[in-house]
Amino acid sequence: MVTRIFGLSIVVTIVSLVVAFLYGGLTALALCAILGILEVSLSFDNAVINATILNRMSEFWQRIFLTIGVVIAVFGMRLVFPLAIVWVTAGLDPVKAFDLALNPPADDAAYFPDGSPSYETLLTDAHPSIAAFGGMFLAMLFLNFVFEEREDTWLSWLEKPLAKAGKLDMLSVVIAGLGLVLAGEFLAADDDRSTVLISGLLGIIVYIAVDGLGSMFHTEEFEEGSSGPSEAVKATGKAAFFLFLYLEVLDASFSFDGVIGAFAITSDPIIIALGLGLIGAMFVRSITVYLVRQGTLSEYRYLEHGAFWAIGALAFILIVSIKFHVPELVTGLIGVAFIGAAFITSILANRRDDADSDKAPVSVS
């Protein structure tokens, strides 16, 4: 099972490293490997959330996401997205933007008569708006989770009061909106304030739209059925399509920090595509498949909770990064810490349940 799931990722990794070596020698090979490790460490919580949502989708739509969705993640977010930012912010056509990324000139005057900065700087300058959009989208995802009542709680001392507070309708929107206003006021530079506010508002709107449409069509399918929702019911049709869109936007939000962080290592889009896209995205796909096929989320009850708390931390980091630089290592370690703590407490909870079942008296008929 493990070999079959991770086999393709291992092959893609080897091929990517060989291509990187042929492209730029040992330096390119090392950079590609570092970026692959960076992406996997930053995106483990992404894989857990992907698996949670995929469990709600039919097998057909699971395959769609794990094939077409991965292609979008590899080429869309890790290659086209950085170039698109440069197209928009610098007013370059796609060919010149790609040429500038591959061959950054000593003097940018060839493309920018007024002496505007390079490709890497342009992408970095766009970070406040990217961070605002991604931070607000992830914040909505996290807030809707913690404000929802559920049978199992992980950090019960905190999750139970938050669930009670969540009975106030639209509280997640109120909190996210307040956070956006504070970010625009205290974190955004004067020149970026309007951009940050608009980008953050778009992040909230996109979340509400995609999540709402998915829920609406899922509910309609249950109403048309005979027995209503159950664990056996999987989203199909329009409901699954909107869950697919939801996953794509979610993956994009998770990818922001990795793509921006990659430019601290290299600005070469080919190396970024090989390291983040092929190696990183393929391993995230394999981890997602493993979690779904093995039923890991049901076996380790708090793993989903840990992933959502990691999302909350990532949303906070993205918003803070509008003004302050947060090292990618810190972002990755926080996510791993939440997932690891949830995994360990799940094991301990399972052992307690087993011990309690062994102590339970056996009834004699």
Cα 15 to Cα 290: distance, rounded to the nearest angstrom: 22
Q: Tell me, what's the pLDDT at 184?
A: 92
DSSP letter, residue 57: B
Mean pLDDT along residues 264-286: 78
Alpha-carbon dihedral sign for residues 117, 118, 124, 126? positive
Q: Tell me, what's the pLDDT at 275?
A: 85
C-alpha distances in Å from residue 195, one per residue of 129, 201, 253, 255: 6, 10, 17, 20
Lowest mean pLDDT across 80-94, 222-236, 264-278, 313-327: 222-236
Q: Tell me, what's the pLDDT at 232?
A: 44
Percentages helix, strand, coil for the chain (3-state, rounded to 5) are 80, 0, 20
- CA 49, 55, 57, 59: dihedral to nearest 10 degrees? 120
Residue 178 scores a pLDDT above 80: yes
Residue 181 scores a pLDDT above 90: yes
287: CB partners within 8 A, 6+ apart: 40, 44, 47
Lowest mean pLDDT across 80-84, 184-188, 296-300: 80-84
Alpha-carbon dihedral sign for residues 166, 51, 139, 209? negative
Lowest mean pLDDT across 231-235, 273-277, 310-314: 231-235
Closest CA to 29 of 40, 18, 45: 18
Residue 161 scores a pLDDT above 90: yes
- Structural domain spans, the chain: 2-348
**What tokens does 230 get?**
């159950």
Closest CA to 261 of 56, 15, 78: 78
The helix or strand, by DSSP H or E, that contains position 318, with its residue range, turns out to be helix 303-320
Read off the pLDDT of residues 14-63 as tens digits, 9 standing for 90 and up.
Answer: 999 999 999 888 888 888 888 887 777 667 777 887 888 888 788 888 88
128: confidence class by pLDDT, cuts 50, 70, 90 = confident
Cα 140 to Cα 119: distance, rounded to the nearest angstrom: 31
86 burial via Cβ count (<10 Å: 0-12, 13-18, 19+):
buried
C-alpha distances in Å from residue 94, one per residue of 40, 100, 104: 29, 10, 15
Residue 358 scores a pLDDT above 50: yes
Q: Which amino acid is at 94?
A: P
258: confidence class by pLDDT, cuts 50, 70, 90 = low
Q: Tell me, what's the pLDDT at 245?
A: 81
Q: Tell me, what's the pLDDT at 229?
A: 35
C-alpha distances in Å from residue 13, one per residue of 7, 10, 67, 120: 10, 5, 17, 26
Comparing 263 with 46, the larger pLDDT belongs to: 46
**Residues 313 and 33 sit within 8 Å (Cβ to Cβ):** no
DSSP letter, residue 313: H
**Residues 39 and 279 sit within 8 Å (Cβ to Cβ):** yes
Residue 175 scores a pLDDT above 70: yes
**What tokens does 292 get?**
């779904």
Q: Tell me, what's the pLDDT at 226?
A: 39
Chain-wide mean pLDDT for the chain?
78
Read off the pLDDT of residues 280-332 as tens digits, 9 standing for 90 and up.
Answer: 878 888 888 888 887 777 788 888 898 889 888 888 988 998 899 887 667 77
**Residues 313 and 341 sit within 8 Å (Cβ to Cβ):** no
Cα 176 to Cα 197: distance, rounded to the nearest angstrom: 12
Comparing 81 with 314, the larger pLDDT belongs to: 314
Q: What are phi and psi of 326, to 5 degrees?
A: -115, 120
Cα 329 to Cα 318: distance, rounded to the nearest angstrom: 14
**Residues 22 and 300 sit within 8 Å (Cβ to Cβ):** no
